[in-house]
Amino acid sequence: STVYLNGDYMSAEHAKISPMDRGFLFGDGIYEVIPAYNGKMLGFAAHIERMNNGLNEIEIKLDYSTDTWREICQQLCEKNHGDNLGIYLHVSRGADNKRAHAYPNDITPTVFAYAFEIPPQPVSDIDNAKTYTVSVEQDKRWQRCHIKSTALLGNVIHYQHGAAAGNNETILYNRLDELTEASSSNVFIVKDGIISTPPLDNQILPGITRWLIINILNSHSDFKVQERIISKQELFAADEVWITSATKEVGPVVKLDGQLVADGKPGQIWQQVQSLFTKHKFDY
């Protein structure tokens, strides 16, 4: 495959970075994943804005304009054939000759990007949807989860616990037994027709899919959406549970820690929302 590294396109095996790169040594970097279907990117501007927010927050100075990023993403789509691609963008603080915690003053960020195949666009069909069974456990990551840091070990360990139990995601709650998010997704619940999701704060990533879903639902008067604190008890008592991310879109959860969600099938509201998402996702 063809990748991008610091201004050049090259085959993946020719892309080399220093072992002194702080991305490697400290996980000192920010990343993004943007879905592209037939070369058409979903939520591009919002993804770039989130990345810039992350870079600003950790004081990595990079002078790439949105147009530069667009060009890189488009080139990667063209050079790597595939109808369904995820474009991975990664900016680390860069390489420094000493492994010191303090941010070095004169350091050039390392910019890496590549495209990988993702599954076809999810369908809104109750009998053919990809479903999720999840583990549920206490969130033991850090208190800056709004930053899309490349230091993902906390998320990786949570996902692995789910995988070891035969599940394909892990939903997390904080020390107050409040729902946060999942190891690589945001979470929505439905109870008595009301759709709820935890509010944005330092405990969750501001998911672009979450944002798209809220926008789409708010533009349709038949839905009621709330951003509010949700307890772990409410999660287990929900009529529907969804996990959302760029590649999953609206993913129906059918089992929580082995317990069926309602009748164990994707719900009616999920079906309506995934179908609206399919229809409107490129409008934003």
Which residues are catalytically annotated? 148
Site for ligand PMP in 183-202 (CB under 6 A): 184-186
The values of phi and psi at residue 87, to 5°, are: -100, 115
Site for ligand PMP in 142-171 (CB under 6 A): 155
**Which residues fall within 8 angstroms of residue 109, CB to CB, at 6 or more apart?**
60, 61, 62, 91, 92, 93, 94
The owner of tokens 């692995």 is 160
**What's the rounded Cα separation, in Å, for the pair 253 and 240?**
7
For ligand PMP, the closer CB: 95 or 132: 132
In the chain, the N- to C-terminal Cα span, in Å, equals 30
Shortest Å, Cβ 203 to ligand PMP: 10
For ligand PMP, the closer CB: 110 or 185: 185
By CB atoms closer than 10 A (0-12, 13-18, 19+), residue 38 is exposed
| Site for ligand PMP contains 181 (CB under 6 A) | yes
| Site for ligand PMP contains 41 (CB under 6 A) | no
208-218 vs 268-280: helix crossing angle, rounded to 10 = 100
Shortest Å, Cβ 125 to ligand PMP: 22
Q: Which stretch binds ligand PMP (CB under 6 A): 70-78, 117-125, 181-189, 250-258?
A: 181-189
For ligand PMP, the closer CB: 26 or 88: 88
**Strand pairing partners for 225?**
195
Question: 140: number of CA atoms within 13 Å, CB side?
Answer: 11
Shortest Å, Cβ 211 to ligand PMP: 8
Of 3, 5, 33, 253, the residue at the interface with ligand PMP (CB under 6 A) is: 33
**Strand pairing partners for 111?**
91
| Site pattern 209..248 for ligand PMP (x: CB under 6 A) | xx---------------------------------xxx--
**What's the rounded Cα separation, in Å, for the pair 169 and 190?**
19
Chain residues that interact with ligand PMP, rule: CB under 6 A:
33, 155, 181, 184-186, 205, 207-210, 244-246
